[in-house]
């Protein structure tokens, strides 16, 4: 069954990882999509891997820019005639300590993760309301929104804020028949797992602690396609009575964190 047949979606951060996997799954499920990201070449690679160019529009730009949000919504409405789903997935991670954090890193995390989500959600929900669309907003947050570890204060604060923003949107937008939910992944094998040339999922610490030590009960990292499946659930009518929720998809990590 095509869960998103004849619908249109915007997916931010769609050049790699979870965003690219979500783009592929949405097209497979019948949607037309607008994919957004900073690097056009990555977006073009995502589109080429999916095929069906008539169902994919590309908007290259930074989610920190208001005009990018406006362009993405316009692309959906102008090219596909509608907008049903927004997936706020764009993110970045810069390790920041405390009490001596890099202030610019804090500003960057909040602007990309929280304010970027706000910009796109505002423009998308306005378009949905204008066309009386039963829309859905799905925000990709993180277990860092509820769990803490060193050097992740800016990232965790931004993700926690998006969790709460999701709940607030769910209340504000419900009278317009628009639902808002979030997915909170744990460790996922994406390019964000690599920092300064080190792939955290391939380190001895990850293997001994999270896999052999079963801190992740399923003893492995997740794959982008597994997160995309959760996003699809919240973006489809299969979750028609789910609103204002944060769905954790982490292999059981937060049970032992």
Question: Are residues 34 and 22 in contact, defined by beta-carbon separation less than 8 angstroms?
Answer: no
Of 193, 164, 231, the C-alpha closest to 91 is 193
For residue 253, what pLDDT band results from cuts at 50, 70 and 90? very high
Q: What is the pLDDT of residue 167?
A: 98
- Position 27 confidence tier, pLDDT thresholds 50, 70, 90: very high
Domains assigned to the chain: 8-195+222-251 (3.40.50.720)
Assess contact for 206 and 164: CB atoms under 8 A: no
What pLDDT does 198 receive? 82
| Beta strand spans in the chain (E) | 8-12, 32-37, 56-60, 85-88, 136-140, 179-185, 194-195, 198-199, 246-249
Count of beta carbons in the 10 Å neighbourhood of residue 228: 27
Confidence at 21, pLDDT banded by 50, 70, 90: very high
Please report the pLDDT score of residue 30 as a whole number: 98
71 near 59, Cβ under 8 Å?
yes
Mean pLDDT of all residues belonging to the chain: 95
**186 by DSSP, 3-state: which?**
coil
Catalytic residues: 155
Q: 62 is written with which tokens?
A: 């930074």
pLDDT-derived band of residue 101, with 50, 70 and 90 as boundaries?
confident
* Percentage of residues of the chain with pLDDT beyond 70: 99
The SS3 assignment for 131 reads coil
Mean pLDDT of 231-256: 97
* Interatomic CA distance for residues 188 and 186, integer angstroms: 6
* pLDDT 10s digits, 44-54: 999 999 999 99
What pLDDT does 116 receive?
98
Question: Is residue 100 scored above 80 in pLDDT?
Answer: no
Q: In a 10 Å sphere around its CB, with 0-12 CB exposed, 13-18 middle and 19+ buried, how is residue 67 labelled?
A: exposed
């Amino acid at each position: 069954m095509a869960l998103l047949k004849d619908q249109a979606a915007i997916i931010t951060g769609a050049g790699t990882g979870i965003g690219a996997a979500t783009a592929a799954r949405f097209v497979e499920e019948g949607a037309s999509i607008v994919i957004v990201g900073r690097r056009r070449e990555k977006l073009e690679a995502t589109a080429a891997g999916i095929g069906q160019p008539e169902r994919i529009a590309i908007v290259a730009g930074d989610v920190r820019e208001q005009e990018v949000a406006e362009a993405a919504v316009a692309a959906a409405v102008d090219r596909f005639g509608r907008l049903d789903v927004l997936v706020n997935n764009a993110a970045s991670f810069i390790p920041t300590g405390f009490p001596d954090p890099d202030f610019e890193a804090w500003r960057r995390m909040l602007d990309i993760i929280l304010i970027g989500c706000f910009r796109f959600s505002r423009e998308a929900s306005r378009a949905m309301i204008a066309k009386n669309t039963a829309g859905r907003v799905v925000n990709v947050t993180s277990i860092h929104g509820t769990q803490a570890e060193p050097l992740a204060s800016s990232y965790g604060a931004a993700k926690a804020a998006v969790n709460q923003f999701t709940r607030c949107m769910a209340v504000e937008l419900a009278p317009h028949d628009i639902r808002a939910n979030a997915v909170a992944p744990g460790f996922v094998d994406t390019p964000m797992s690599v920092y300064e040339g080190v792939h955290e999922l391939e380190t001895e610490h990850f293997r001994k602690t999270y896999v052999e030590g079963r801190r992740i009960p399923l003893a492995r990292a997740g794959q982008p396609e597994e997160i995309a499946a959760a996003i699809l659930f919240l973006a489809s009518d299969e979750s028609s009575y789910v609103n204002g929720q944060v769905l954790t998809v982490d292999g059981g990590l937060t049970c032992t964190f």
